[in-house]
Amino acid sequence: MITVMLVDDHAIVRTGLTQLFSTVSDIEVVAEASDGADAVAQMSHAVPDVVLMDLAMPVMDGVEATRAIMSRWPGTRIVGLTSYSDRKRVLAMLDAGACGYLLKESDPDELVRAVRAAVAGEAPLAPVAASALLQARVDRAPLDALTNRERDVLAALAGGLSNRRIGDLLGISEATVKGHLTRIYLALGVPDRMTAAMRAREMGLDAISPR
């Protein structure tokens, strides 16, 4: 079961999302918060797999809350869910540690797929968010944007290794692998592991094959 926290200062939004996920057998809403500070406080006992985070909220906004949660619970998958589509807000949220960014106008099925994708280690992005990432990185060589460890993870991914095998190979946890993959997806401007593997091969990165 995938557990979710909803963070939004509008109760009607939280209610609508709760009703949506109640129709899905593998997703359960385990906590709700009306602002970022409330979300951080609830993380101490809720610790959900995925947090759907609004941006503009009183007390503490979504960017600050995302940064606070990721510093203490780095394995959490945070997806921005907001009405804002401007590039500055998109990049601020992703740079704070969110693994994805969707608009509230998204179709219900898209939201459900996004939650599942986030848990799978992918980066669910609305088209506007993907465009912002590509534009922000247009002048940067993708591999230059990666750390040495992220290159190792990408090479193993390109070789067809699972997250668990990558973790065993590099001596890191599976949650840490997912964190590296999120940053890799963002740096390369890709939505998932298959596209990342293709980009790695296109850039000439030597793949690490399964033994």
Residues 139-177 pLDDT 10s: 455 677 788 888 899 889 988 889 999 999 999 988 888
Tell whether 209 is covered by a domain: no
Q: Which domain holds residue 150?
A: 139-202
Tell whether 66 is covered by a domain: yes
Determine the pLDDT at residue 6.
97
Are 117 and 188 in the same domain? no
Which DSSP string corresponds to 111-171?
HHHHHHHHHTT---B-HHHHHHHHHHTTTS-GGGGS-HHHHHHHHHHHTT--HHHHHHHHT
Q: Which residues partner with 2 through β-bridges?
A: 27
Least confident of 44-58, 108-122, 138-152: 138-152
Contact 55, 84 (CB under 8 A): yes
Tally of domains in the chain? 2
Least confident of 66-75, 80-89, 125-134, 163-172: 125-134
pLDDT at 1 over 90: yes
Q: What tens digit of pLDDT does each residue of 2-46 get?
A: 999 999 999 999 999 999 999 999 999 999 999 999 999 999 888
CA 193/CA 184 separation, integer angstroms: 9
pTM reported for the whole predicted model: 0.69
C-alpha angle 147/152/153, rounded to 5°?
95
- Return the top range by mean pLDDT from 33-37, 128-132, 202-206: 33-37
The average pLDDT across 71-97 equals 86
Domain boundary among 83, 104, 135: 135
Are 166 and 131 in the same domain? no
pLDDT at 59 over 70: yes
pLDDT at 136 over 70: no
Determine the pLDDT at residue 202.
77
Are 128 and 180 in the same domain? no
Are 181 and 102 in the same domain? no
CA 113/CA 92 separation, integer angstroms: 23
Are 23 and 62 in the same domain? yes
Determine the pLDDT at residue 139.
45
Are 48 and 115 in the same domain? yes
Contact 61, 93 (CB under 8 A): no
Share the mean pLDDT of the chain. Answer: 87
pLDDT at 134 over 60: no
Query: What size, in residues, is the chain?
Result: 211
Residue with token string 């030597």: 206
Domain boundary among 105, 135, 165: 135
Tell whether 190 is covered by a domain: yes
Query: At 160, which CATH number?
Result: 1.10.10.10
Domain boundary among 80, 103, 135: 135
Query: At 87, which CATH number?
Result: 3.40.50.2300
